[in-house]
Structure 1
Amino acid sequence: MLTTVSTAARGWGVSLMLAVFFSASVSAQDESLSVLETGLNELVYRLSRSVVTVEASRATVREAQPTIVTRGAQSLISSGLIWDSSGHVLVSASMIDGFDRLRVFLESRVLDARLVGIDYFNEIALLAVDSLTGVPVTVSDAHTCAGHMVIGLGNTFGVRASPSIGFCAGARPDGTLQFTFPVTSGGLGGGVFDLSGKLIGLVSGAIGARNEVAIALPAYRLANVVAYLLEHGDRLAGYIGISASDVEVSADPTNDLTAMTTSTTGQVSSPSPHFAVMVTEVQPGSPAMAAGIQAGDILYDVDGNEVGSSVELATLVRLHYPGSRMNLGVVRRGRQLTIPVRVGAKKLSPAPVIGQDRAQAVSSADSLRRIVRQLREQVRRLEQRLDALH
């Protein structure tokens, strides 16, 4: 009997110790989460004072018929980052280019802005705003952030500094950074910050079926961009008008093209392969078409410098000033050619519409799924009634 009581007592003692242990663990975990939440709230509030909403608008006139003229207005909403205490704001250039009026929203204030200049190489613009309050961003000098937790801040469906938490996936081949949080049109020009509050990148785009991956220009590049725009105004970039893909070729670029294969299709006959670029499309009316560049051409050289990837080629083209000449080393049907191309001026990408249309599409898809479920339920009930009749 005493043994039974003793065993029971030990059992109760162990249970009590476990209860106290897990209770303390849960309590400590809750406290840690509470501290984390408070810290994030304070960080988001502090960073939100560096993020503004940007509205670009212009008047529109449409003639439906010779006697009917419709007048209206078009506007785009995006985000911007306060760069300094002089009222300069960095924004996505595609969201403000070609618009007559620019306004900046910060907290309860609405201020007119003027365009200082556009960097066509990086597709960002610098605005100047008088009497702008707020806090300039603190810029990180880190060149990579792979694996780090980050906070994205920008305008999302009308909320000026809507936060998103994600991770840095690392640098892309073109030097931009990739992050795991979604972006809408209004979030373009917003910021990506580390957990110390330093700016890692300026949001420049999004990829993925639902734009769930953000792309940003690294923050360490921004100081040089701002300095150039303040001193010189617009920074132009070159353009020749081709689409290209990477290919693996034999060591001798004059070999017959049958010895060259894309890196995705298999083996290369040469024992010493290296990479070049194959033209896949030439845009009508482009400088490349005027120079005689053709789809299927293998580009391996620009002005005497070897080119090994389409990203490298695009960078070299953008670095050429419009109106200058670049010499392209080309292999065409086994013949080695040098083709001079007069470089044109790069235009900005069209302003993207991210998020709103997709949201409507998702909503429509969800509605369709609900209808299908309802129809299936009705069919199931009819089958039950038919079974009951038998």
Structure 2
Amino acid sequence: MRHAKTDVLEPGKLWWNWFGEHYFVPANTVLPRSEEDVRQAVLAAARLGLPVRSSGRGHANTAAVPTPGVHIDFRAFNEVLSVDRELMRVTVQPGISVGELSRYLRTQGMSLNNQGDIDTQSVCGAIMTATHGAGITLPCMSMQMIAARIVTADGSLLDLSAEADGELFKAFRASIGMFGVVVSITLQAVASYNLLKRSWNADIEDCLGGLHQRLQDNRTFWFFWLPRRESADLFVLPSGVPNLASRDHDICHMRSYNAVPVDQAVPEPEPGSQFDHSSVIFPNLYEPNFREIEYAVPFEDFEATFDEVRHLFLDKHKDFTFPVECRPVKADDSYLSAYAERDGYALSVSGPMEPPTWAMLRDVDAIFDRHGGRPHWGKHHFMTPARLEKLYPRYDAFKKMRRELDPAGMFLNDHLRALFA
């Protein structure tokens, strides 16, 4: 019975992700207008024996969304539900994008404490995959979530919070939608702030030689390694920034971000600088023209890992020209975050959307594997249960909690079942 008739289930609609790498037509599609719609969708799926997966804005590289069963599409389920200005907390529906929320918070005198450089993905997707920004004092976005409401496999509503649910909430933070369907999320915001961003190019030797001092001196510091002259154009990195490099290849495009109170005077503009609210300065424009993996290695292993990746491109994969993005992230206490119980340094490696890219990414994965790299759950990876068991001290505990909440595996699909069943 492929197209069941109920109040909320519609015939399946074609869905594809941002990169166009994954597309599918489920048995049924749900476009919810309320949390009760979501609950009824889960109950209907249970009656029909169908699995359930949900999606926000489709920014994940992985096959985390495709399902033969019921697909809950949250793109229009994107309202702000409540705001507590005194405690600086906001509750939102799962389909709201990072950018929509960040811009809304500005009107309320608040900001997100940190965010990545893409703001078009859903807040829920960013949290459930442990998406991050950068900074040695700043953890991933999952840590900004302090409470959530989900629909569990039996159709009941479950309220979770960091305060009341301890270990379960830690496991839930980066659970890729395997504990239930999220219908609302509460985030801890901070007082509104502006950012002074500075960008410049320099030789790789300058970047690495002053790396740890720059990490200490700036709220956020990250860099893109540019193996070729044309590399910056592939990620739409800005031209016209100060150039301290002695060559046009094997250099770094560096960025620092520092918070400025909103009541403080606007600083004098400098070449390569930008100044505005955090909601404006954090995001960058990217075209979905690349295939990407991103792993976080232990912070102290970054330089050795980066050196191997750099020479892989200089010596073997000379035709691959996309930048390599490098960002530090503070440790957290989640079960499946790439930064669980350790400070990490994320390296993002990309190639064109063509078959030869896979061989290159496999070579990079081998380097990450040697250095204990953990994947970003929204990017391509080559994980196996054996690797996950080695990488995550609480991997088995996570699987046990998942089975207790969803014993029949309703919220799994082929991609997730292979790793977490």
TM-score computed with the length of structure 2 as normaliser: 0.25
Q: Which has the higher contact order (CA 8 A, sep 6+)?
A: 2
- The structure in which a higher percent of residues are strand is 1
Question: TM-score under structure 1 normalisation?
Answer: 0.27
| The structure with more radius of gyration | 1
